[in-house]
A and B are shown apart, each in its own frame.
Chain A
Amino acid sequence: MSPSAETPRLVVVHCPDWSVVAAGASPAEPAAVLHANRVVARTPAAAIVGVRQGHRRREAQRICPSLRIIDHDPARDGREFEAAVRSVGQIVPRLETTEPGLLTFLARGPSRYFGGEQAMAVRVGQLILDAVPAFDAASGIAGRLGIGIGDGRFTAGVAARLSTHLAGHLAGNLAGVQPAIVAAGEAATREFLAPLPVAFLRDVAGVSADFVGLLHRLGLHTLGQLATLPAADVLARFGQPGAFAHRIAGGGDDRPPATISAPPDLLVMRTFDDPVHLLDPLVFTAKQLAQELHAMLTDDGRVCTRLAVLAETEHGERSEHLWYRPAGLSVAAIIERVRWQLDGWSQQPGGLSGGIVLLRLIPDEVRSDDGTQLGFWGGRSEADEWAARAVARVAGLVGEQHVLVPAWHGGRQPADAYRWVSVDRADVGDATDRLLVADLPWPGQLPSPSPAMVLTDAVPAKVLDDSGQVVRVDGRGGLSATPAMVSVQGRAAQAVTAWAGPWPLDERWWDPPNHRRLARFQITTADGVALLAVVENQHWWITAVYS
């Protein structure tokens, strides 16, 4: 697939619910794979009932109480997909995997061999259905595998998505695959894309969800509406991401900018004198190779978008895969893919007969690393993924209610402005809902600096005057005496070095059960501690400490 001036005609094979297929769930059983508390894949039985991608665990269980919940395991997805890749690889020479469940290859060669694109697509679909037992082709429940053919990656990807819906609607098709083929040529592509919703930009091309939301708000609901805008205006208004979206909406070149073929002699390899049979040493070697390669590329300011990974056994068996990622393959991504490839290869019946003696990484296509995240794959960075996985593990260990994230609540007291929300009710990765701070005034809120320690349960205290009497505050904010000593929870009293207040607060006077009248004081004591003290109904409490 060398970059050429013309957009190449590509076939995209897409299994949107691959995670649940890899987990071995049968199509008739309602099951869903969850990642970071959200549904990423579901079986047709669950989809019929109404479980959608993006649903939270509780929503999904409410819709379908008998839903089987499966944890997301990317290693399992990658491993199981190897069977499908090898199977299709028998008839297609250069096969590119983007992620488990998404294959791309050039249409020209295989379609000529099989006598037409339709025939080729049906053959490829059949190969995959046969290679993956979990597809259970005989059951007749379809809609889980889509094949799309079109000019360019975006068109083919959109066609593949539509094909998954098509198969679901056509009954009696045992093969369960209805390829969607877009006619060749710019005009046909544009005609195909025009009536489609702009949501495809987000789902297929990885354009940021914010941008797609903006298009909706501006009244641009279809790709055709976006494509008819003048390109220069779109660039001026939306910048590079907008220009990219505009270009692909019109069926134009959808390769990430500044993509070129890698220099031919750029490769890293390692040979082993003793054949290696275990996976972990190979992955460790792959990590070193990936770091070397990454360093070589970043020296030139580049990042690899397409990488060929080749492994060879002592008996000459080879496994060669192309891995593609538009945003560039980081070291961690490369290691993950090598692991999927080798793990899947070793699991095949009759896959490996010996140990690995050669491991080679050859970059095929590189692009300049401008550091800008084009928002691919939902804009989640790797750090977000790592954190989400760690949160899921910790929640499993200590219980979901003990893992908390901040949420904006609003209020005058330090404990009210932000609250803690447990992760089963909040989205760790996407904080826009819970941290959207409305720009509303909160008169009566204490100005910054805020206390670093906000006590969840206020600690009772006594604020005493010189004669040892508790200081009282009347309704108009007058103090009975100057505070001189503070004794917290019965401990030794400390002398007051400075203080200010009272700052009265009269909240919810219209709501008698929740009506609160209190006065706040800031007090520093002789031992250097600054406190936020509150008096309510003549009882003193410490609510926060400026630690």
Chain B
Amino acid sequence: MERGSLQARRERLTQLVPKVGPVAFARDRVLPVVPALGSLLPEAGLVRGSIVGCQGGTALSVALATVAEASAAGSWLACVGLPSLGLRAAEELGIALERLVMVADSADLSEASLANMMSALIDGFDLIVLRGTPGIGIATARRLQARLQARGAVLVVVGNPGPFICDVTITGLGSQWEGLGDGSGRLARRRLALSATGRRSPRVREIEVWLPGANGGIEPTASPSATEMATGTGSVVAFLPTG
């Protein structure tokens, strides 16, 4: 009899505990992002299962800077469609090269193989940076997106997102290099204006960063610059062998 009431009391207690327990931390739901970019992203980090789009002439550097902190913290990073990724630059931004894998020459795969490959990457990697989506249809993209959410990986798309719907899109507005003169100096750092629009929030967030900063990393600028910046319309697509 006594044991019965003890058991009943314990059961009631275990039912009460989750109601009064502390809120679960979001530490596993959101991957860390370097503080300079924190204000651009919802929840100041990379929400697992989300897709981030990077556009503009500086999209590659922005994409690498976005994943750098999570990579340094221990997540594995896969790159697809980035044949000319600069590894020294990646290292300077803070990406852990021992956790970086690249898949090259994926353009000439069939859609089914491409989908299988992306599925495999989503299963095993926390971070995927993808450039170019040749051959991925809308239905495949939806399935990959669902898998992304189920597995908790983050996809960063550089350039045209194609059939993927980005939760956040970061656009490079204008850039200004400092340090180079007329036959003298060297490229020291670049002031970059970025704006981010979210799929769910209509508000546009804008910040300015040094990307790359003095040591190659990304740093926030002290105050918005009043100088005119070159509107970066230059296309780097011209340099790549396959569009």
A residues engaging B (CB < 8 A)? 265, 295, 299, 381, 383-384, 386-391, 393-394, 397-398, 402-406, 414, 417-418, 420, 423, 428, 431, 435, 446-457, 459, 482, 488-489, 491, 494, 497-501, 522, 524-530, 542, 544-547
Chain A residues with CB under 8 A of B85: 452-454
CB–CB A450/B104 < 8 A: no
CB–CB A448/B88 < 8 A: yes
CB–CB B86/A544 < 8 A: yes
Chain B residues with CB under 8 A of A428: 101
Q: Which of B108-142 contact A (CB under 8 A)?
A: 109, 113, 116-117, 120-121, 123-126
Interface string of B41-54 (1 = CB under 8 A from A): 00000000000000
CB–CB B57/A528 < 8 A: yes
CB–CB A381/B117 < 8 A: no
Chain A residues with CB under 8 A of B106: 398, 402
Which of B32-40, B92-100, B162-170, B200-208 lies on the face that meets chain A? B92-100
With A448-B88, A524-B180 as given contacts, are A488 and B239 in contact (CB-CB < 8 Å)? yes
How big is chain B's contact interface, by range? Answer: 35 or more
B216 at interface, CB cutoff 8 A: yes
Chain B residues with CB under 8 A of A402: 103-106
Chain B residues with CB under 8 A of A393: 120, 123-124
CB–CB B180/A500 < 8 A: yes
Give the interface SS of chain B, mostly helix, strand, loop or mixed.
mixed
B195 at interface, CB cutoff 8 A: no
Choice from A390, A394, A397, A500 contacting B181 with Cβ under 8 Å: A500
Choice from B10, B101, B105, B113 contacting A397 with Cβ under 8 Å: B113
Choice from B24, B101, B126 contacting A404 with Cβ under 8 Å: B101
Choice from A406, A449, A545 contacting B212 with Cβ under 8 Å: A449
Chain A residue at minimum C-beta to C-beta distance from B78: A390
With A390-B121, A451-B86, A452-B60 as given contacts, are A545 and B180 in contact (CB-CB < 8 Å)? no
B215 at interface, CB cutoff 8 A: yes
Chain A residues with CB under 8 A of B74: 381, 383
A18: shortest Cβ distance to chain B, in Å?
24
Alpha-carbon separation in the docked complex, A423 to B78 (Å) = 13
Chain B residues with CB under 8 A of A383: 74-76, 126
CB–CB A500/B102 < 8 A: no
Choice from B86, B123, B177, B189 contacting A498 with Cβ under 8 Å: B177
Chain B residues with CB under 8 A of A394: 103, 117, 120-121
B175 at interface, CB cutoff 8 A: yes
CB–CB B86/A414 < 8 A: yes
Alpha-carbon separation in the docked complex, A530 to B60 (Å) = 14
Alpha-carbon separation in the docked complex, A459 to B189 (Å) = 24
Alpha-carbon separation in the docked complex, A394 to B234 (Å) = 34
A-B residue pairs, 9 tightest by C-beta: A390-B124, A527-B234, A431-B98, A449-B212, A528-B232, A418-B87, A529-B234, A450-B88, A448-B216
B11: shortest Cβ distance to chain A, in Å?
9
With A391-B124, A500-B180, A525-B234 as given contacts, are A456 and B84 in contact (CB-CB < 8 Å)? yes
Q: Which of B186-243 contact A (CB under 8 A)?
A: 186-190, 212-213, 215-216, 230-236, 238-241
